[in-house]
Structure 1
Amino acid sequence: MKNRVFEEFLARFGSGARLYAAPGRVNLIGEHTDYNGGFVLPGAIDRCIWLAVRPAAGRRSRIWSVDFDEGIELNIADEPPRVSWARYIYGVVSEMARRGVDVPAFDAVFGGDIPSGAGLSSSAALESVFAFALNDLSERKLTPVELARAGQMTEHRYIGVRCGIMDQMISLLGERDRVMRLDCRSLEYEMIPFRPEGCRLVLIDSMVSHSLAGTEYNLRRSQCERGVAIIARHVPRVTLLRDVGLDMLDTYRSEMDEWVYRRCRYVIEENVRLLIGCDRLRSGDYAGFGEKMFESHRGLSQEYGVSCGELDFIQEIARGYDGVLGSRMMGGGFGGCVLNLVSDGACESFLDEVDRRYAARYGLHPRTIDVVIGGGARRLE
């Protein structure tokens, strides 16, 4: 895809392009905690959005998508484009302008090898590669964290997804063989080694599509906010679920409906699981880390209510399979993938077992995606 993007640029716009890449991501544990000010543990992957770009005269930018086989002309003085993928680029340029960057007009071609619909944050990779590249082409430089905020606000203002900042942070700042323990309130982070010798990460795609802009994602966020608002009436220092412990939550449980209570309880417990999991990674205890992955899925399915029958079915097979150290659904939910930490010796037979049983139950063959933890956004020579 990298070569294809570069060759497409040559054919459409000629020479002079710079080439950039920004990766998708997996999140090992810590789901739906980011917008609650909690902790997440993502890793960048070796699948990217590739971008060839050069400055252009005037105010109108010409952009071609290899993946969608279509192009647009863009000017941030105009209304946001109707083409869905173009709104991400329009949003990034607009958000950078809000932050004082005079983004030049540009010619660009982009394409990706991030599997679509698998919850690997191809949208954040698209935002990040354009933000990183346009920042490189501009005189006024933003920090990676400022670029991540520009990507996050693109989602909020132009896409309608009230996401956290995890996806953009790891896409911009990821490191090979390391995962990021990110504090989503302070944006402080620690890069933790992730080199599980003798085992590997593999995604199993349920082939059930999902939409993060759907009502259920935003509903979960509003339920968490309602729980915080109830507690804050009694404890004014509370502004996010990050500020709440289980004892405090239980103190005011009677003022919440059952669903608000369960959503809040899941988030609080997930933060604790993640911090324990990080300790286990630091000590090289990958089996112990896998236990926290199993617990995370149970919470996502039973307490937060964002799983589905297909995801639960795959995870049940994993939980009962010798050689699978950990397994959990990943992403916004209601479809997408299950992330598995599997010993090398068991991986092939495990995937065969899932394929056979899933096809018998649902009439579909799930897609499998090997995960390699790679680097963040970068310019390529």
Structure 2
Amino acid sequence: MSENNIVDKVAQKFVELYGNKPLVVKSPGRINIIGEHTDYNEGFVLPASIDKAAYLAISLRNDDEIHLRAEDLNETFSISLNDLKPVNDVSWPNYILGPVAQFQNKGIELKGFNAILTSDVPIGAGLSSSAAVECATVFALNELLRTNFDRLEMVKMAQKAEHEYAGVMCGIMDQFASMMGKKDHVIKLDCRSFEYAYFPFKLEGIKILLLDTNVKHSLASSEYNTRRKECNQAVMWIKEFEPNVHSLRDVTEAMLDKYVLPKDKIIDKRSRFIVQEINRLLKGCEDLQRGDIYSLGKKMFETHDGLSKMYEVSCKELDYLVDFVRNKNAVIGARMMGGGFGGCVINVVNETEIDKLIEAIKPAYEHEMKLPLTYYVASIENGTEILSY
């Protein structure tokens, strides 16, 4: 369904239910081209917002009640501002209530509101559907309440909402990419200082193809915490001799050779991947400045190999999809995207070859892995914005 159709449909439903015309805000899902597991090591990431988004139709009420409807789930939820707290028995309202709480925490006088949520960001595919809803809510309330927060402040509010109401201690990347995205550009984001710069990613005839393994291994959260500990351990060992080192962002491979490798080969392997990945991202930005997408594509394959063999957060399904496209001319670059042990492979592909590629890869994957393969074609679009008022 086109964006105009989605907006018309949700606005019409809103008028039917609540009798007045809503503000409609759109906030997109995101991809990350390169820079994985670098965020919590104070490195860089290279995300972009995509043409799959959450749409929130909303208007203020004259009382303190919040009335919500999730159009795609055909579910409703109501709560009073006085009773605001995370909901345990159903999760989707928390992505709207969490942002409301952030305004409350800042001492802003709130009003109740009516809202309808609809989204075409696939859930569970690692495209940050929750961040899209949080950013849409913060942005809409900022507009309706005339609170004049800038975008960076709204990003931080949306991230805090995820921490406090969804219970996920995420980094800043998902909300940042959703809120700050720019059409045909990726964002080089410094996860230490929050400084950022846009790099052009307007490539004629090139699309992003996301291949969803439909796998979610239970290892993901426990191994994620283990990797964080392993990275921190490397930093502690180096810091004894190099007091200016605060995270793997400050570490060189020579430091790893000297202070980490002699102590523990696994911790060396984990932290070496991060040091290499941060450097790879910086060089990838140079590729983009030169318009050299093929060099960036090679780096994406290198990132996957590092995530699979050094950081060991891949799985056979992800590896299968990357290996399948590795020597195909249609595919410029591919890698697993996200925390690992399932989720999506991101591919940068020649647009004319997508159908032929899907025709080959879908039956092969489904036969080999005994799982369905879902795919999405994405383009890079603007971040959070008002569509109608």
- What's 1:15 paired with? 20
Residue 251 of structure 1: how far off its partner (Å): 2.4
- What's 1:364 paired with? 371
Whole-angstrom CA distance in 1 between matches of 2:25 and 2:227 = 35
| Residues 1:39 and 1:275: Cα distance change in structure 2 (over 3 Å) | same
Whole-angstrom CA distance in 1 between matches of 2:8 and 2:118 = 10
Contact 1:20 1:379 in 2 (8 A): yes
Residue 328 of structure 1: how far off its partner (Å): 0.5
Residue 7 of structure 1: how far off its partner (Å): 2.8
TM-score of the superposed pair, with normalisation by structure 2: 0.92
Q: Which moved more, 1:247-256 or 1:260-269?
A: 247-256
Alignment of 1:329 with 2:336, yes or no, is: yes
Question: What RMSD, in angstroms, separates the aligned Cα atoms of the two structures?
Answer: 2.0
Query: After superposition, what is the alpha-carbon deviation per residue over 1:78-110, rounded to whole angstroms, capped at 9, x for unaligned?
Result: 332112122222222222333444343211110
Superposition pairs for residues 293-312 of structure 1, below 5 Å? 293-312=300-319
Residue 213 of structure 1: how far off its partner (Å): 8.1
| Residues 1:120 and 1:360: Cα distance change in structure 2 (over 3 Å) | same
For 1:338, what is the secondary structure of its paired residue?
Answer: strand
Whole-angstrom CA distance in 1 between matches of 2:17 and 2:274 = 48
| Residues 1:222 and 1:58: Cα distance change in structure 2 (over 3 Å) | farther
TM-score of the superposed pair, with normalisation by structure 1: 0.93
Query: After superposition, what is the alpha-carbon deviation per residue over 1:239-263, rounded to whole angstroms, capped at 9, x for unaligned?
Result: 2221222222332215754443322
Contact 1:161 1:213 in 2 (8 A): no
Residue 224 of structure 1: how far off its partner (Å): 2.2
The aligned amino acid for 2:10 is V
Query: After superposition, what is the alpha-carbon deviation per residue over 1:181-229, rounded to whole angstroms, capped at 9, x for unaligned?
Result: 1111111111111112233221111121368983333333333233323
Alignment of 1:166 with 2:145, yes or no, is: no
Whole-angstrom CA distance in 2 between matches of 1:377 and 1:152 = 15
Alignment of 1:27 with 2:25, yes or no, is: no
Q: Which moved more, 1:218-227 or 1:242-251?
A: 218-227
- What's 1:87 paired with? 94
- What's 2:282 paired with? 275
| Residues 1:251 and 1:310: Cα distance change in structure 2 (over 3 Å) | same
Whole-angstrom CA distance in 2 between matches of 1:75 and 1:213 = 36
Whole-angstrom CA distance in 2 between matches of 1:99 and 1:236 = 37
| Residues 1:258 and 1:162: Cα distance change in structure 2 (over 3 Å) | farther
Gaps of 5+ in 2: 1-5
Residue 324 of structure 1: how far off its partner (Å): 1.5
| Residues 1:311 and 1:213: Cα distance change in structure 2 (over 3 Å) | closer
What percentage of residue pairs aligned between the two structures are identical?
41
Whole-angstrom CA distance in 1 between matches of 2:80 and 2:219 = 27
Alignment of 1:287 with 2:294, yes or no, is: yes
Number of equivalenced pairs = 381
Contact 1:39 1:181 in 2 (8 A): yes
| Residues 1:292 and 1:25: Cα distance change in structure 2 (over 3 Å) | same
- What's 2:129 paired with? 122
Residue 345 of structure 1: how far off its partner (Å): 4.3
Query: After superposition, what is the alpha-carbon deviation per residue over 1:96-145, rounded to whole angstroms, capped at 9, x for unaligned?
Result: 33344434321111010111221111011011000111111123221111
- What's 2:141 paired with? 134
